[in-house]
Amino acid sequence: MPLAALLLALLTIALSAYFLPKKFLSKGNTKEGADAQILEPREGNNGEDAKTKIPISVNYHLTRQCNYSCGFCFHTAKTSHVEPLDNAKRAMLLLKEAGMRKVNFAGGEPFMNAKFLGQLAQYCKSTLELESVSIVTNGSKVTSTWLAEYGQYIDIMAVSCDSFDEATNIKIGRGTGKHLQKFKQLAELCEEYGVMFKVNTVVNRYNWQEDMNAAIRAIGPKRWKCFQVLIIDEENGGDKTLRDAREFQISDEEFRFFCDKHGHNECFVPEGNGVMKSSYLLLDEYLCFLNKGVKGKTKSILEVGVEAAMKDVYWDDKGFQERGGEYDWTKPSAGGCGEGKNPELEF
């Protein structure tokens, strides 16, 4: 080939590589997803690609203490530690700077520390202006006084209810007989204070055959998350843990049976074990990310920063995306299973 033609061919190859869309590159510099933006590739400990991901949605388990004793609990009271409020605020600020858009306060029972919770929620919503601040609670300790003061800073309250038969709740350990009464009151209070109401149900040995359709329609939650009961070895896996959830376990077929019965509800969101295990970013009471069932936790984000901690956490951001982790999470918002309610607050 004459030299000029050779040079022309080389130039053409170089230019096409430069203009080739990034999606066709096997290990690109940027990859944007709905949930996580991968900033830069680097080599991980095992020679695999490890990536710095943005912690868009974080679950902060601010305490392990709880006033209930659900037999399948997988975040048990192994410590009574709660960070000082200033530390928790600093952690929220670091996460916001790293790209967090939603925080979910969980436990244990977060209302064991109601004032701390309220003040932190206020900081996240008012000062940090997060898109969404939510709380997962068993509902038993939420009061109208608390909602009157802090409800304005809460987008979503997710309240646990595993059965609409109180005897089943008692058998599970979800309270001692007043859970449903409190649950229904709280649904009304949330509507009154403009907080979106969500229901969390753990599908287990004692409720997998229950028909909850009518009760859910009557409550009309924005979302109804149904989790397959999960065993985490170090939390509820057997004789040496605070809980032994093995008697609550159900098969995938039994979980599917429950899903088939309730899947037609618009608000229904099922989460089997496969999705649950690693699609959540979990920050524990010491501000460390957890690697549940995979490996030990990371160092505190106050100690090493968010980016370093994120490099050491196993978070299945694809799983997060697949389970619809990013949804319409700022109030007010229409939709869900309710009918004929205040359109501004219909949830």
Residues taking part in catalysis: 66, 70, 73
Q: Which stretch binds ligand SF4 (CB under 6 A): 35-43, 48-56, 102-110, 296-304?
A: 102-110
HSE-CB at 239 with a 13 A cutoff on CA atoms is 0
Interacting residue with ligand SF4 among 108, 151, 319, 338 (CB under 6 A): 108
- 66 in contact with ligand SF4 (CB under 6 A): yes
Only segment of 24-32, 81-89, 107-115, 249-257 that touches ligand SF4 (CB under 6 A):
107-115
Omega before 108 cis (within 30°)?
yes
Residue owning tokens 């979990």: 282
**CA-based end-to-end distance of the chain:** 71
Rounded to whole angstroms, the Cα distance separating 18 from 12 reads 10
Stretch that binds ligand SF4, among 25-33, 101-109, 318-326, 334-342 (CB under 6 A): 101-109
Give the rounded distance of the alpha carbon of 69 from its chain centre.
Answer: 21
Q: Does 70 bind ligand SF4 (CB under 6 A)?
A: yes
249 binds ligand SF4 (CB under 6 A): no
Indicate whether 69 belongs to the interface with ligand SF4 (CB under 6 A).
Answer: yes
- Does residue 71 bind ligand SF4 (CB under 6 A)? no
What x-and-dash track marks residues 118-147 binding ligand SF4 by CB under 6 A?
--------------------x---------
Residue 68 interacts with ligand SF4 (CB under 6 A): yes or no: yes
| Binding region for ligand SF4 (CB under 6 A) out of 1-9, 66-74, 210-218, 229-237 | 66-74
**Shorter beta-carbon distance to ligand SF4: residue 108 or 325:** 108
Bin 104: left if φ > 0, else alpha if -120 < ψ < 50, else beta.
Answer: beta
Chain residues in the site for ligand SF4 (CB under 6 A): 66, 68-70, 73, 75, 107-109, 138, 160
